[in-house]
């Protein structure tokens, strides 16, 4: 019971911290209309967690990963993904722009966000699948990658339809392709790559823990 209380307290602490970050980044965003559109994802995820909390509470690890991803997403929503000034921040710290150091010709924050989607959310997805009855074997490592890739494809379709409906500058801001015609394919590949890394690490950790549990039994 005490462990359960500590766990719920940890989840509430993360939720409270995220609300503080969300409130700070909700002040004077670069484009209010784009900020509202981007926050539909946050509303949907929050609603799913609240509605299903009696059946599923994320573990410490899963909750922390979800929190980190949402913070990255909120940063992109505040500045718009194509205008997050990470290059200026890096230049202020080191005296030289990160884009110039790495030879980048575009703002890469959206690439980071898509990679983080797979890297940070594949584990929580696996946890949900196991809670639903999936055995923690090879399929519990493969299916999260499939889910990440399929949901990334759905998101790219939503972006396309949304941009067509919005039109003009807001549509281009929401789409954020930055004149790269292969942007959707690269985004999906990065998300799948992040999920693959997450599941490889998860599989290795599971194999490492298995002998320890057997020796303790």
Query: SS3 letters for 167-204?
Result: CHHHHHHHHCCCCCCCHHHHHHHHHHHHHHHHHHHHHH
Q: What count of Cα atoms within 13 Å lies in the side-chain half-sphere of residue 127?
A: 18
Return the pLDDT at 202: 96
Q: What is the pLDDT along the chain (217 residues), one digit of tens a residue?
A: 566 888 889 999 999 999 999 999 999 999 888 898 889 888 888 888 888 877 788 999 999 999 999 999 999 999 988 889 999 999 999 988 899 988 888 889 999 999 999 999 999 999 999 998 999 899 999 999 999 999 999 888 877 776 666 665 555 555 555 666 778 888 999 999 999 999 999 999 988 877 655 455 4
- Residues 156 and 187 sit within 8 Å (Cβ to Cβ): yes
Angle (CA) 87 64 188, round 5°: 55
Residue-range domain boundaries for the chain: 1-209
Count CB neighbours of 176 within 10 A: 21
Least Cα distance to 14 among 22, 4, 3 occurs for 22
- Residues 176 and 98 sit within 8 Å (Cβ to Cβ): no
């Amino acid at each position: 019971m005490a462990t359960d209380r500590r766990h719920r307290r940890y989840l509430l602490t993360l939720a409270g911290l995220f609300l503080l970050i969300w409130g700070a980044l909700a002040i004077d965003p670069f484009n209010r209309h784009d900020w509202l559109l981007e926050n539909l994802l946050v509303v949907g995820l929050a609603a799913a967690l609240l509605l299903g909390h009696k059946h599923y509470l994320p573990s410490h690890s899963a909750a922390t990963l979800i929190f980190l991803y949402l913070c990255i997403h909120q940063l992109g929503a505040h500045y718009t993904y194509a205008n997050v000034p990470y290059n200026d921040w890096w230049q202020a710290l080191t005296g030289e722009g990160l884009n110039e150091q790495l030879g980048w010709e575009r703002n890469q924050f959206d690439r980071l966000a898509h990679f983080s989607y797979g890297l940070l959310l594949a584990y929580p997805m696996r946890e949900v699948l196991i809670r639903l009855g999936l055995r923690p074997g090879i399929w519990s490592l493969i299916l999260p990658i499939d889910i990440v890739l399929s949901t990334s494809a759905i998101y790219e379709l939503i972006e396309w339809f949304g941009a067509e409906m919005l039109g003009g500058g807001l549509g281009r801001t929401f789409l954020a392709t930055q004149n790269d015609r292969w942007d959707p394919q690269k985004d999906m590949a990065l998300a799948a790559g992040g999920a693959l890394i997450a599941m490889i690490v998860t599989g290795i950790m599971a194999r490492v823990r298995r002998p320890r549990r057997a020796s303790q039994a």
